[in-house]
Structure 1
Amino acid sequence: MPYKRISGSLSTPKVDVMIDMGNPFLNLCVDGFLKIGTVAAARVAAEETYHIVKKGNISRHSIEHSLKKMCKEGAYWGTIAGVYVGMEYGAERIRGTRDWKNAMLGGALTGAIISTACNDSRDKIVVGAITGGAIATAAEFLNYLT
């Protein structure tokens, strides 16, 4: 019995905005901040739009609340991404090689830095470092699979 095979690929549009800060480290940090910050703000915009439509009441207060939440989340996640990209790049430059260990080090340092800024507990800082390293390493391994 004959069969037919269809082959193809699906790609998403790619938008690159480059802001030249005069230093590759700063360029990567700002790029990470802008990309992930935009994604976080878009996520909040979608959620807030759903909640406003569900309530059926559009008011100036709800729109202001949504905009403040978008800015806060965008800045928070953008900062985390910028710190992570910078730490990974720094590990790559110091070690002189590009591999998964840079992601692990960058994630651990980012987790520790963000936890230090948010907590006073040494245990939470260690857990943040372990979590950041684990997530970054897992993401790097998943990138190798695709």
Structure 2
Amino acid sequence: MPWGRVTGSMSYPKVDVVIDMGNPFLNRTVDGFLKIGAVGASKVAAEETYHCIKKGGLSKGKVEDALSKMCKEGFYWGTVAGVYVGMEHGMERIRGTRDWKNAMLGGAITGALISTASNNGRDKVVADAISGAAVATAAEFLNYLT
């Protein structure tokens, strides 16, 4: 059953919303989609706000265009994050261990899948798989430092 919780502290605000899909794989995938999708949408909101301030005007058309861009960017970022989180969880389940290699494999598979879905050629798919693996592995190692 879906539920939500909002908590906070003096040092930093923390919002934690949990959607229980009844399956750990789906839970992590949906969580990644929603959280990173919100980041992507926020990025566009900040950029569009800057452009409106710079140009000195706001119209209904600009707001509609900004909302459209926010939805597209949020969906794209959320999809990439959802695929990555799902792949990393899948690697953890298949390998039976939790380590940086799951992030590397999940990043490589995600990079290859997203690149293939974008109709890129073989060389670009391989390059994106390597990039995905590198970024995911670096992020995992940075998590160990904190």
Common fold: TM-score over 0.5 = yes
Question: Where do 5+ consecutive residues of structure 1 fail to align?
Answer: 1-9
CA distance in 2, matches of 1:138, 1:51: 33
* Number of aligned residues: 137
Q: 1:45 matched to which residue of 2?
A: 45
Structure-2 residue corresponding to 1:61:
61
Percent of aligned pairs with the same amino acid? 74
The answer for the alignment partner of 1:19 in structure 2 is: 19
CA RMSD of aligned residues (A): 1.1
Moved over 4 A (4+): none
Q: Distance in 1 between matches of 2:41 and 2:120?
A: 28
- Does the alignment pair 1:126 with 2:132? no
Greater C-alpha radius of gyration: 1
Distance in 2 of aligned mates of 1:49 and 1:13: 23
Q: Within 2, Cα distance between the matches of 1:58 and 1:141?
A: 43
Flag structure 2 segments of 5+ consecutive residues without an equivalent: 1-9
Name the structure 2 match of 1:4: none
- 1:1-146 matched pairs, under 5 angstroms: 11-146=11-146
CA distance in 2, matches of 1:129, 1:94: 20
Structure 1 window deviating more from structure 2 (91-100 vs 47-56): it is 47-56
The structural deviation recorded for 1:11 is 4.2
- When normalised by structure 2's length, the TM-score is 0.91
The structural deviation recorded for 1:89 is 0.1
Distance 1:41 1:93 in 2: 31
Q: Which structure has the highest strand share of the two? A: 2
Distance 2:128 2:11 in 1: 34
Paired position in structure 2 for 1:6: none
- TM-score by length of structure 1 reads 0.91
Q: Find the aligned partners of 2:139 and 2:32 in 1 and give their Cα distance.
A: 15
Q: What letter matches 2:92 in structure 1?
A: E
